[in-house]
Structure 1
Amino acid sequence: MAQVLQLEDGGYDFIKGVFQYSGGVAARPGLEIERARFARPLPLAEGFAAVEAHLKSVGRPVSAFCACELRSPAPFTEDGFAAFNRVYAGTLDRWGVLREGVNPVARTNVCPELDKPPVPSFYAFSYTVPAAAGTPRTFVASGSGEAPEAKGTYRDNAIRLGDTSRDGLREKARWVLGEMERRMAALGFAWADATGAHLYTVHDVHPFLAEELAARGAMKAGLSWHFARPPVEVLDYEMDVRGVLRERVLPVG
């Protein structure tokens, strides 16, 4: 069963996950989650600096940073992914966001098939801000590919490893959809609360789009399909979902 913890000074609850990210986040009472996307992806260090500057400009501490969306040039090997995660988490540690090795920040990291960034980069991020009375609760669920986490290697746990047939992709999609539902439920949400569902794959999902995604409510607000791969070589299908009321685009020089 998912363990939900609080980051009081950040203003959000989070699902305890693996070292590199939490399973998802939800704003605490009196706050809401706002999302900001950069007009173009920024290299990781530059992106972290821009995030910090933006939070300062809106009067929020770095602990309000609760979710991020990254773009990488190509899927990592398992060892390469672990090395990248140590670099990424190093900034969170310096910011004081990691607490006794627990990472509260939700994350999606995917690899565009076209127009690839030259280095791992920030695409978007989310953070808590004060909310007006009566504002509905807001959340972000981390991205997940078709492998249970914290159970060993992705290769050893991937659903239908290497199988991109129609049936193989359908089974991968079913598992990932279920994981999105488990994460939302742990935070007190369901598909009806989502303002955006996002799919990351380069494979054809049309044969089961209606029965698997639309029929269970995952496309209530439409579906944003990014022609991208999950961040680890052996994975083929990833999704994330959020329910937020405010999204903005930040210009970059």
Structure 2
Amino acid sequence: MSTIDFAPGGYRFIKGPFQYSAGVAALPGFRLVRVMFRNPVPLDEGFSRIESIVKAAGRPLTSFAACELRSPAPFTDAGFKAFNEVYVGTLSRWGLFDGATNPVARSNVCPEIHKPTSPSFHAFTYTEPGDAPNKSVVVAGSGEAEEGHATYREKLIRPGDVSPDGLREKARWVLGEMERRLGLLGASWVDTTAAQVYTVHDLHPFLADEIVRRGAARCGLTWHFCRPPVVDLEYEMDCRAVSDERVI
């Protein structure tokens, strides 16, 4: 698999399922900029605020490259598909989704405590002109299942097993997927500026051996007490190499 250039946005991406890409990297002459909302912003309002921010920066809406969502609770496979069909409607209007291929990377997780009342934006990333001094990459979130199948459970790692050994194997698979995606984007853990993990289970038994030793926590590790977005998934990660981050 190779990446696909999305010239209207100034980035390239790893093709994923219809709802998101597996990761993005800035094209030469561009850099990725991440913007985090201090508090989650409901989806429709979030899209509106993002549109204003991107246009104020003098960028086209096609420069929208990645986002991080928060949802009230994990979806069923059918519910996730229905949500995604609504979500990509805005991307279609913005010239990002052509009905089959979606260049925008995404993480969508569910806080276990202080849940939002509806799907909301936590952060988003877009491109601006300018050469990035280092790698400029965002890897989309992945849980412990191979994507692109009719249901996540078809390719789930250790389904239903949240024992220390089960969680270790789930984490190992997800870390491998992060490394695969980083490699496709021309990066590795040494380039990352942040790594995030999403689980409500204890990761300390394998934190040192599986995460820290392989370099995935080189800038520390942000643990969000969240569940992945689909029922039966227990562990998710994403990572990025972004030198320009803002909080609004």
TM-score tier by shorter-chain length is over 0.9
**In the alignment, what sits opposite 1:208?**
206
**In the alignment, what sits opposite 1:151?**
149
Please give the secondary structure, in 2, of the residue aligned with 1:49: helix
Please give the secondary structure, in 2, of the residue aligned with 1:45: helix
Please give the secondary structure, in 2, of the residue aligned with 1:225: strand
Q: CA deviation at 1:137?
A: 2.6
Q: CA deviation at 1:152?
A: 3.0
Distance 1:100 1:169 in 2: 36
Please give the secondary structure, in 2, of the residue aligned with 1:240: strand
TM-score, normalization: structure 1?
Answer: 0.96
| Corresponding letter in the other structure for 1:115 | H
Mapped pair 1:177 → 2:175 = yes
**In the alignment, what sits opposite 1:232?**
230
Please give the secondary structure, in 1, of the residue aligned with 2:146: coil
Q: CA deviation at 1:3?
A: 3.1
Q: CA deviation at 1:101?
A: 1.8
Distance 1:248 1:168 in 2: 37
Structure-to-structure mapping, 1:159-170, within 5 angstroms? 159-170=157-168
**In the alignment, what sits opposite 1:71?**
70
Please give the secondary structure, in 1, of the residue aligned with 2:66: strand
**In the alignment, what sits opposite 1:31?**
30
Mapped pair 1:84 → 2:83 = yes
Distance 1:80 1:98 in 2: 20
Query: Of 216, 219, 238, which residue of structure 1 is paired with 2:217?
Result: 219
| Corresponding letter in the other structure for 1:214 | V
Q: CA deviation at 1:100?
A: 4.9
| Corresponding letter in the other structure for 1:146 | E
Please give the secondary structure, in 1, of the residue aligned with 2:149: coil
| Corresponding letter in the other structure for 2:135 | R
Q: CA deviation at 1:49?
A: 0.5
**In the alignment, what sits opposite 1:6?**
5
Q: CA deviation at 1:155?
A: 1.3
Distance 2:161 2:56 in 1: 47
Please give the secondary structure, in 2, of the residue aligned with 1:107: strand
Please give the secondary structure, in 2, of the residue aligned with 1:75: coil
Deviation sequence 1:55-110 (CA, Å, 0-9, x none): 01111110000000000000001100000000000100111111352000000000
- Name the % identity: 59
Instruction: Give RMSD over aligned pairs.
Output: 0.9
Structure-to-structure mapping, 1:86-105, within 5 angstroms? 86-105=85-104
| Corresponding letter in the other structure for 1:29 | P
Q: Is the 8 A contact 2:145 2:155 kept in 1?
A: yes
Please give the secondary structure, in 2, of the residue aligned with 1:213: helix
Distance 1:76 1:196 in 2: 27
Moved over 6 A (4+): none
Q: How many residues align?
A: 248
| Corresponding letter in the other structure for 2:166 | G
Q: CA deviation at 1:130?
A: 1.3
Deviation sequence 1:138-195 (CA, Å, 0-9, x none): 0000000000001331112110001000000000000000000000000100000000
Deviation sequence 1:172-227 (CA, Å, 0-9, x none): 00000000000000010000000000000000010010000001000101000000
Q: CA deviation at 1:27?
A: 0.2
Distance 2:142 2:68 in 1: 12
Structure-to-structure mapping, 1:114-133, within 5 angstroms? 114-132=113-131
**In the alignment, what sits opposite 1:135?**
133
Distance 2:183 2:234 in 1: 24
Which ranges in structure 2 are unaligned for 5 or more consecutive residues? Answer: none
TM-score, normalization: structure 2?
Answer: 0.98
Q: CA deviation at 1:135?
A: 2.0
